[in-house]
Copies of this chain bind each other. A is one copy, B any other.
Amino acid sequence: MIRFFEKDPYSPIQYVYDVEKILYKGKSPFQEIVVIENPFFGRMLILDGVVQLTERDEFFYHEMLVHVVMHAHPEPKRVVVIGGGDGGAVREVLRHETVEKVFFVEIDEEVIKVSKKFFPTVSCELENSKVEIKCMDGSEFIKSRKGDIDIVIVDSTDIIGFAKSIFTVEFFKSVKESLGDNGMLVTLSESLHFHRDMVLGVQETMRLVFPVVDLYTAPIATYAGNWWTFSAASKALGLREMRKPGISGLRYYSDEIHRHAFLPPRMYEKLLKKSLNW
């Protein structure tokens, strides 16, 4: 049996996957890009040795990354997606009819090419006329916008490595300046099981900049630690409330999952006070 051993230095469990086929193996200026076929998960995108998505379960991640803030915002029209070269986040954003424009900022255009070729069900909306693709650093792009953005979605690789510039106070300040009055930001923030310091780090950094910050989770089997978190921030409105009806046709996200996904209040408070007993 041919096997892929995931190379995640921040996971105390190493995940190993059977490989039916290696469909692609290349190197961009930023990272190694691999696509394999697994009997259970289907095609898998692997960047620098870490699983980014699988055909089978990508919808958990992409729906939960996108739809919580998109439903909390009263009328999201202009959206920025940073990273997520596979196109899954853009696909979910465009389900919302209010959206007029998506700035899709991916530093590594090789990822876009690979996704268009091997993940057509994920990259399917990248040719949509509402999408403007920018192959550049997300933090640079954000500095160029002032007050005209409704939602910023950060769909990066892990917090470590070259993506770290989009988890800083400076970046969050630029995001705040780019956003309109009801603007919101969401970013992945690692696992509550394995990376609590990173989860806390993102939360604390966001809190230095935004008046409203919250945390919600989703179960994602192919991300180390699995109890995956998303950190969301808002300039004014709370994030736990939906301000329009849920979009139909989704596979995991729904109005009940929106409410369900946020950390229960006392547990969240304990997390922030570092008084969780584990």
Give A residues with C-beta under 8 Å from B.
3, 5, 12-18, 38-41, 56-57, 59, 191-194, 217, 219, 221-222, 225-227, 251-252, 254, 256-257, 259-260, 264-267, 276-278
Contacts and interface: CB of A to CB of B under 8 A. Distances in A.
**What are the 6 closest A-B residue pairs judged by CB atoms, nearest first?**
A12-B40, A256-B264, A219-B227, A226-B226, A14-B16, A193-B221
Nearest to A219: B227
A277 B18 CA distance: 25
Contact of A267 (B221, B254, B267, B277): B254
27 contacts: A3-B14, A5-B16, A12-B18, A12-B41, A13-B16, A14-B15, A14-B16, A16-B16, A56-B278, A191-B221, A192-B219, A193-B219, A193-B221, A194-B221, A217-B219, A219-B219, A221-B225, A221-B226, A221-B227, A226-B227, A251-B276, A251-B277, A252-B278, A256-B264, A256-B266, A259-B264, A260-B260
A57 to B, nearest CB: 7
A257 to B, nearest CB: 6
A193 B57 contact: yes
A207 B190 CA distance: 37
Contacts of A15: 13-16
A266 B278 contact: no
A221 B192 CA distance: 10
Nearest to A39: B12
Given A13-B17, A221-B227, 19 more contacts: A3-B14, A12-B39, A12-B40, A12-B41, A13-B15, A13-B222, A56-B278, A57-B278, A193-B219, A221-B225, A221-B226, A226-B227, A254-B266, A254-B267, A256-B266, A257-B264, A259-B264, A260-B260, A260-B264
Contact of A59 (B17, B57, B278): B278
A170 to B, nearest CB: 32
Contacts of A265: 256
Nearest to A251: B277
A16 to B, nearest CB: 4
Contacts of A39: 12
Nearest to A218: B227
A219 to B, nearest CB: 4
Nearest to A193: B221
Contacts of A14: 3, 15-17
Contacts of A225: 221
Which of A59, A225, A260 counts the most B-chain CB atoms under 10 A from its CB?
A: A260
